[in-house]
Structure 1
Amino acid sequence: MKSVDIPDSREQSPTKNEASESNKASIDNTESIPNGGRAWVQVLGTFFIFFNTWGVLNTFGAYQTYYETQELFPASSSNISWVGSIQSSLLLLLGLVTGPLYDVGYFYLPLCTGSFMIVLGQMMLSLCDTYYQVLLSQGFCIGMGTGLIFIPGVALLSTYFSTKLALANGIAAAGGGFGGIIYPIIFHRLLTQIGFAWTVRAMGLLMFVTLTIPLLVFRTRVKPSSKRQILDLPAFKEPAYAAFVLGGVLAFISLNIPFFYIQYFAIESGIASDELAFYLLPILTTGSVFGRVFPNIFANLVGPFNIIYSCTIVSGALMFALINISSLAGVIILALLYGFFTGAFVSLPPTCFVRLSPQRSLIGTRMGMGYAVMTVGNLIGSPVAGVILQKNGFNSMWTFGGVLSIAGGIAMMTSRNFQGGWNPFSRL
């Protein structure tokens, strides 16, 4: 009798992990991108990533004013601003690590680690009473936490959206604006009632609750790249990529100056009382909420590069408008407008990096690498502004920020021209 070979079930039945992996689409298969439906749940998760990264960073202006006007520790404006500068720079710098990690499939590890570090740093801040303690907890610990969660949370959307990516990024980025409104209000309202330590702890509890939402809703959709590419240095030989990153460096130098100093400016110039000046930061970040959504809607029509360079140039012009201003109404209007136009600058780079990546498997690497270089501008901008303020006053500081913001917008316009073949009507 002829024998019949019976296949080994152990070889034929895939494991649970293998089955799950086989159900995922290839990262380069754009036809499988949902562009809606369940993809909007991922936008919710990224909304709270922005809420606890840029939202937390935009709150530092409230801390800056408190540290300068209270007696928690003695420090100059420039030294205090180093805390916020390091915090926001680490958000960008760690993308150099988290971008490639995301590309090869490590998604939940940086997300969980970063969330833990944000909450830990916030709780440790409540125990601080010296400058270096604040620098370590608020600057380094929270900064590293935001850096670990930002790129994975943002890059995930590029696997769920293609035609609606700019809109999805805009809605998600609005979380940074909402965080920049809610956290300063909590800080200001609770400070006089329960003191600095318990106010910071209350904010830490809110961070803990809102950071659990991305952990619950995020789902990776595509297979990770098979190549482990930490850097893509040839990207800097591409004129469009190099010009865009240069523009980002210049714009980031000026970005946080009003966020850090507009409250202090209103108080020192006698434009507003301490109580009224506090509301300038929430007003600024309210403008940022709208700036992160509406320009992204138009970005789908006219192109993200056209929107981002235009808004960056206008942001610089608004900083010039702060020179010699003495009207509270004028400062409020300028704060609202500045928040709106810088909101586009904060929300649109991920969309631009997608277009600057020839392969979708390089999105995380190129995004992380670009943000890491932009860190240079973000790191030095506010401390240098603080030195200029101490030596030459507010007008020189606004001039410094305005010039560099406009220069950054021009560099981004050049990147757009390299992308579109210098066609002024290209939708890029």
Structure 2
Amino acid sequence: MTEIITSAKVDASELTEIPSNATASVRRMFSHENNGSTVRGRSRNKPLDSADPEDMEFPEGGFRAYITVFGSFLGLIPAFGLPNSVGAIEAYISTHQLSNVSASTVSWIFSIFNFTAFFCSIFSGAVFDFTGTKIPMVIGTVTFSCGLFLTANAETAWQFTLAFGIVTGFGCGTLMSPLIGVVSHYFNKNRATAISLATLGASIGGISIPLLLRKLYPAVGFVWALRILSFICAFFLVCSTCLVKERLKKQRSPTSSWREFLRMYVLGVFDYRSFSEVRFDFCAMAIALAECSLMITAIYFPSYAVRRGFSESDAYLLVTVINCMGILGRFLPSYVSDKWLGPFNTCIITLVGCAITTLAVWLPFGSSLGVLYLYSALYGFFSGSTLSISPVCCGKISRTEDFGKRYSTMYLVASFLMLVTIPVAGAIIGNGEIKRYNGFIVYAAMLELVAAMFHVGTRFVTVGWRICKF
């Protein structure tokens, strides 16, 4: 559990003279002003910037750091690329294996997938904090690849739910936290840029997976298309496991009984104390709602294009365009965040941009294929920062050694919301009439606007209304 260290005011009369050979860290600790500054703690709502030596002493580069970023990039190609490409699977099975099944029922497959993925990420985050990357990476690689292989043989809704929703979702969730969290061990000032470079793997995966399936479906069929995808994902994940390595570990005494094991690795992984922080609650809701909007759009946008009368090939290409622009959308906003605006200000702008684009372009002009391509480009740019900057928002209000657990706890909130929001989206779409899809479009835009409002709330609780980088 997250330790809460009580802040203590320092009286100047109680300080002894600092030895001339004191380390820089000690000198910085004693150099705090005496008007309520802390030696070992922080005010709960104070931004976690450079005031603490722990948050200042990061490598900010070097061979080990850049190799870790590259390894994270390779792992995120399948781990985040597949969730970005689920529309290519949903569009196919809803018109083939599950053509006689309602959209609401099909939506539960992907709802359970996202729930399982984000729910499991909280446990992998805690395991990562205490053991490093290898254990969660190995478990995630095996289950992710096997889940895809089993999905290839599924023919009914319950088989897809078990193979893709649960097994593949478990593997995906196990990979999420270590692949993102390990980058934060090496960067602080340039954390947004480093994580955005790593999460480019999500865009690469989101670009390549739909194109790969688009070619393989007619060539070798659904079964071998997913088997080939499984082998490719396994290759990238094995390479990633060999390259990523943590820099920090929490110290924990060995477990002597099953009760102690369960307390540490099952009950102890949930950082419930974080929910006592208002800014953490707001940030968690903002990230969760933004992820929900991103997921429902990724799932149903290709089906919308097919419903409009465009080919499945065009539908897959629209997903590819979103993920292509997501590369620019990950890097440019992250660079702006590091240099000028900060992660929360940047997320507010990009989420509002997503909502405006959805309501002003997709909703009124969705009957035109050219406009759908334009929307894909704009939405891909604005939504690209959702995955890359959200971890930085969490890191901004978290201590480094607690990042994995707090980041995972935020995605636990996202998992429960996805269990609700995705089936609601399927119910809104219903029989697939265009006017029902229009209601879905408004629903997706509202999720983005509410997410932006929660980020505004986090900003207000932490720094107020003053104009600053945050």
TM-score by length of structure 2 reads: 0.81
Q: Over residues 107-148 of structure 1, what are the superposed CA-to-partner deviations in whole Å (9 max), with x where a residue is unaligned?
A: 311110010001101111122222211111111111000111
Give, in whole Å, the separation in 2 of the partners of 1:338 and 1:106. 35
Give, in whole Å, the separation in 2 of the partners of 1:86 and 1:318. 28
Match of 1:286 among 306, 316, 324: 324
Residue-pair matches, total: 399
The equivalent residue for 2:415 is: 375
Instruction: Give the C-alpha shift of residue 58 in structure 1.
Output: 1.3
Aligned residues of 1:28 and 1:360 also touching (Cα < 8 A)? no
For residue 36 of structure 1, what is the amino acid of its counterpart?
Answer: G
Instruction: Give the C-alpha shift of residue 48 in structure 1.
Output: 2.0
The equivalent residue for 1:347 is: 388
| 3-state SS of 1:348 partner | helix
Give, in whole Å, the separation in 2 of the partners of 1:288 and 1:117. 27
Give, in whole Å, the separation in 2 of the partners of 1:300 and 1:186. 34
Aligned residues of 2:126 and 2:269 also touching (Cα < 8 A)? yes
Give, in whole Å, the separation in 1 of the partners of 2:215 and 2:420. 31
Instruction: Give the C-alpha shift of residue 32 in structure 1.
Output: 4.3
Please show how residues 21-100 of structure 1 align to structure 2 within 5 Å.
Answer: 29-38=54-63, 39-71=65-97, 74-100=100-126
Instruction: Give the C-alpha shift of residue 95 in structure 1.
Output: 2.3
RMSD: 1.9
Q: Over residues 257-289 of structure 1, what are the superposed CA-to-partner deviations in whole Å (9 max), with x where a residue is unaligned?
A: 22112222122123x333323311111111222
Q: Over residues 382-402 of structure 1, what are the superposed CA-to-partner deviations in whole Å (9 max), with x where a residue is unaligned?
A: 221111111651111111111
Match of 2:439 among 393, 396, 413: 396
Q: Given the superposition, is the C-alpha separation of residues 258 and 280 from structure 1 closer, same or farther in structure 2, using an over 3 Å criterion?
A: same
The equivalent residue for 2:451 is: 408
Aligned residues of 2:151 and 2:164 also touching (Cα < 8 A)? yes
Instruction: Give the C-alpha shift of residue 210 in structure 1.
Output: 0.6
Instruction: Give the C-alpha shift of residue 42 in structure 1.
Output: 0.5
Match of 1:221 among 232, 242, 247: 247
Instruction: Give the C-alpha shift of residue 226 in structure 1.
Output: 4.1
Q: Over residues 337-390 of structure 1, what are the superposed CA-to-partner deviations in whole Å (9 max), with x where a residue is unaligned?
A: 112111111111111111111x32211111111111121222222221111111
Match of 2:166 among 140, 147, 154: 140
Aligned residues of 2:192 and 2:337 also touching (Cα < 8 A)? yes
For residue 246 of structure 2, what is the amino acid of its counterpart?
Answer: T
Q: Over residues 62-102 of structure 1, what are the superposed CA-to-partner deviations in whole Å (9 max), with x where a residue is unaligned?
A: 11111122245632212222222222222221122122222
Instruction: Give the C-alpha shift of residue 31 in structure 1.
Output: 5.0
Aligned residues of 1:252 and 1:377 also touching (Cα < 8 A)? no
Match of 1:231 among 267, 270, 281: 270
The equivalent residue for 1:185 is: 211
The equivalent residue for 1:168 is: 194
For residue 44 of structure 1, what is the amino acid of its counterpart?
Answer: F
| 3-state SS of 2:153 partner | coil
Aligned residues of 1:53 and 1:91 also touching (Cα < 8 A)? no
Match of 2:363 among 315, 323, 328: 323
Instruction: Give the C-alpha shift of residue 30 in structure 1.
Output: 4.2
For residue 328 of structure 1, what is the amino acid of its counterpart?
Answer: L
Aligned residues of 1:160 and 1:221 also touching (Cα < 8 A)? yes
Q: Which moved more, 1:49-58 or 1:316-325?
A: 316-325
The equivalent residue for 2:461 is: 418
Q: Which moved more, 1:27-36 or 1:112-121?
A: 27-36
Aligned residues of 1:323 and 1:394 also touching (Cα < 8 A)? no
Give, in whole Å, the separation in 2 of the partners of 1:219 and 1:171. 17
Give, in whole Å, the separation in 1 of the partners of 2:278 and 2:295. 27
Matched, 1:307 2:349: no
For residue 384 of structure 1, what is the amino acid of its counterpart?
Answer: V
Match of 1:365 among 405, 411, 424: 405
The equivalent residue for 2:425 is: 385
Q: Which moved more, 1:234-243 or 1:135-144?
A: 234-243
Matched, 1:334 2:375: yes
TM-score by length of structure 1 reads: 0.89
Aligned residues of 1:73 and 1:131 also touching (Cα < 8 A)? no
The equivalent residue for 2:292 is: 253
For residue 33 of structure 1, what is the amino acid of its counterpart?
Answer: F
Structure 1, gaps ≥5 residues long: 1-26
| 3-state SS of 1:393 partner | helix
Aligned residues of 2:107 and 2:422 also touching (Cα < 8 A)? yes
Match of 1:264 among 268, 278, 303: 303
Match of 2:149 among 123, 140, 149: 123
Give, in whole Å, the separation in 2 of the partners of 1:137 and 1:410. 37
Give, in whole Å, the separation in 1 of the partners of 2:334 and 2:349. 13
Give, in whole Å, the separation in 2 of the partners of 1:414 and 1:347. 20
For residue 51 of structure 1, what is the amino acid of its counterpart?
Answer: I
Give, in whole Å, the separation in 1 of the partners of 2:430 and 2:84. 22
- Kindly, what percent of the aligned residue pairs are identical? 26
Give, in whole Å, the separation in 1 of the partners of 2:411 and 2:236. 25
